[in-house]
Amino acid sequence: LWVSTTDGRIKGWNWEARDEENFVTLMTEKGWVDLESAEPTGVSHDAPRIGIKVIKANEERNEFFFPGFIDTHIHAPQYPNAGLFGSTTLLDWLNTYTFPVESKFGEQPDPNTGHQTKTDPKDTPIPAQQIYDQVIARTLSHGTTCASYFATIHVPATNALAALCHTRGQRAFIGRVCMDEPKFCPKYYCDFSADDSITATRDTIDFIYSLDPKGRLVKPILTPRFAPTCSRPALKALGDLAAEFDPPLHIQTHISENLNEVALVKELFPEADSYAGVYDDFNLLTRRTILAHAVHLSATERKLVRERESKISHCPASNSSLGSGICPVRTLLDEGITVGLGTDVSGGYSPSILEATRQACLASRLLGYTAEWKEDHPDPQEDEGREKLSVAESLYLATRGGAAVVDMAEDLGGFDAGMLWDVQLIQLGAMKEVERSPLETFSNGEESLVAAGPVGNVDIFGTETWEEKIQKWVWSGDDRNVKAVWVGGRLVHTRS
């Protein structure tokens, strides 16, 4: 293993590294460093280091390194609602569950005193800090090394989320949600005006740049919630704001998730060619735009998304939970659109991208039964089964796909030389005598052959290929398999 000691990047691989128990000697920029005499890894990702402690993957316990997961769409303030959606669909789910919980993350902007300008995270109400800290800890424990977060309209709480990501060491895009259209937003949770929406957004951008001037770990992302919550002046101002920066700011929003939503957008924006056209009219479809869901895009809209090089966050758990539909991922990929995975907590019930990976596989296995797919593929022989995503493809979406979605394909998602060490160490478990739990002893006293690990049934006969082990991990693994997580070379989570 050959890792840079100063910038947390992989310099290359060298299997001839000298192996001493849990340490190996590394070839670093400063030459060979004997790690046992080297200073321990710095506590801050900015701290200079002369050595990195290397934990080797233990093959006997079926351990392996895997690129950190990238959650391209998650709502941090909705975490308290994960698992709470009943039988609602998008528009009534927003009013019943989502706007009420998000509104609790701060004060409504005061029309007399103007926009909120508090940027000190200490001003944030305690519950917001606690909940955001829990979201970061929980997503890290599931191997999410990078997340694109929607926060709320509140500047102090949004800044607190950015500060917490920075402190805990999770790579993050932080979006202060813009929603100023009183025709759709509830009175108790709405920006005071388009101007206020933009000023508050600028406050958050300033705070994030003061926290992390080079955007090494935490970056701002413009976040018009979705077309129905945003006035035309706000959409226009956000498109202009993105272009003011060099490189232009990242943008995230929702698109074409639910059929009633699509109909509503058509009614609210009669002048636009389509839902995607609304965003395009305000210069919000850029190569740094993340569009969440994209379940019901027309062929013309997909062509526009492709031309603008905008990216799509596929959120299969959410699409099933809210009954939104099945996203035609194969069609998007065939047409050259970049796709990553999102948990969409709490439209999605789980903060785990491993769960999103398996839900992406499952949803794709049902896609062939939809009327739309049948219409586009009239000859059942020709493309039979093409719609199905393999485990490998779905894991690609969770890592390299996500990296491309956040415009960091050269830095994240794999183990290429030059990439950042954003990595999870996965342990599937082993057949070791010592690891057998008493519960796995049969009632007649004989010990079961079940391997006692978090997955529990891996390689019982010692004959499985790594491909087969990985399949078992995806279908039945969880956060108990995540033994350690690093971001930019910094250890940010361990499970003992």
Among 344, 355, 387, 422, binds ligand GUN (CB under 6 A): 344
HEC string of 289-332 equals EEEEECCCCCHHHHHHHHHHCCEEEECHHHHHHCCCCCCCHHHH
75 binds ligand GUN (CB under 6 A): yes
Which strands form 63-67's sheet, in the order they lie side by side? 63-67, 423-427, 482-487, 490-494
Nearest approach in angstroms of CB 293 to Fe ion is 7
Q: How far is CA 466 from CA 59, 415, 458, in A?
A: 11, 17, 10
Q: How far apart are CA 191 and CA 167, in angstroms?
A: 29
Q: How far apart are CA 42 and CA 45, in angstroms?
A: 7
Question: Side chain identity at 78, as an amino acid letter?
Answer: Q
Piece of 81-89, 275-283, 340-348, 405-413 that binds Fe ion (CB under 5 A): 340-348
Q: Which of residues 11-40 bind ligand GUN (CB under 6 A)?
A: none
Contact yes or no for 55/414 (Cβ under 8 A): no
342 binds ligand GUN (CB under 6 A): no
Contact yes or no for 68/412 (Cβ under 8 A): yes
Q: Which of residues 209-228 bind ligand GUN (CB under 6 A)?
A: 225-226
Among 115, 142, 154, 254, binds ligand GUN (CB under 6 A): 254
Piece of 90-98, 360-368, 411-419, 423-431 that binds ligand GUN (CB under 6 A): 90-98
Q: How far apart are CA 450 and CA 471, in angstroms?
A: 18
Piece of 108-116, 151-159, 276-284, 342-350 that binds Fe ion (CB under 5 A): 342-350
Q: Quick one: what does residue 257 bind among ligand GUN, Fe ion, none, with the CB cut-off 5 to 8 Å set by partner type? A: ligand GUN
Nearest approach in angstroms of CB 222 to ligand GUN is 15
Q: Which is nearer to ligand GUN, 257 or 411 (CB)?
A: 257
Q: Which of residues 408-467 bind ligand GUN (CB under 6 A)?
A: none
End-to-end CA distance of the chain: 23
314: β partners? 341
Q: Which is nearer to Fe ion, 344 or 459 (CB)?
A: 344
Give the list of residues 6+ apart from residue 371 with CB closer than 8 angstroms, or none: none
Piece of 60-68, 132-140, 341-349, 387-395 that binds Fe ion (CB under 5 A): 341-349
Question: Side chain identity at 387, as an amino acid letter?
Answer: E
Closest by Cα among 200, 251, 196 to 226: 251
Nearest approach in angstroms of CB 344 to Fe ion is 4
Nearest approach in angstroms of CB 492 to Fe ion is 25
143 binds ligand GUN (CB under 6 A): no
Structure tokens at 270: 């009669």
Q: How far apart are CA 357 and CA 345, in angstroms?
A: 14
Q: Which is nearer to ligand GUN, 132 or 226 (CB)?
A: 226
| Helix then strand then coil, % of the chain, to nearest 5 | 35, 20, 45
Question: Side chain identity at 318, as an amino acid letter?
Answer: S
Chain residue at closest Cβ approach to ligand GUN? 347
Q: Quick one: what does residue 98 bind among ligand GUN, Fe ion, none, with the CB cut-off 5 to 8 Å set by partner type? A: ligand GUN
Among 181, 191, 203, 257, binds ligand GUN (CB under 6 A): 257
Q: How far apart are CA 295 and CA 324, in angstroms?
A: 8
Among 68, 328, 340, 347, binds ligand GUN (CB under 6 A): 347
Q: Quick one: what does residue 225 bind among Fe ion, ligand GUN, none, with the CB cut-off 5 to 8 Å set by partner type? A: ligand GUN
Q: Which is nearer to ligand GUN, 166 or 254 (CB)?
A: 254
Q: Give me the 271-290 binding string for ligand GUN, x by CB under 6 A, dash otherwise.
A: --------------------
Q: Which is nearer to Fe ion, 180 or 344 (CB)?
A: 344
98 binds ligand GUN (CB under 6 A): yes
344 binds Fe ion (CB under 5 A): yes
Q: How far apart are CA 122 and CA 119, in angstroms?
A: 9
Q: Which is nearer to ligand GUN, 62 or 78 (CB)?
A: 78
Nearest approach in angstroms of CB 226 to ligand GUN is 4
Cβ neighbourhood burial of 143 (10 Å; 0-12, 13-18, 19+)? buried
Instruction: State whether residue 192 is helix, strand or coil.
Output: coil
Interaction site with Fe ion (CB under 5 A)? 344
Interaction site with ligand GUN (CB under 6 A)? 75, 90, 94, 98, 225-226, 254, 257, 318, 344, 347
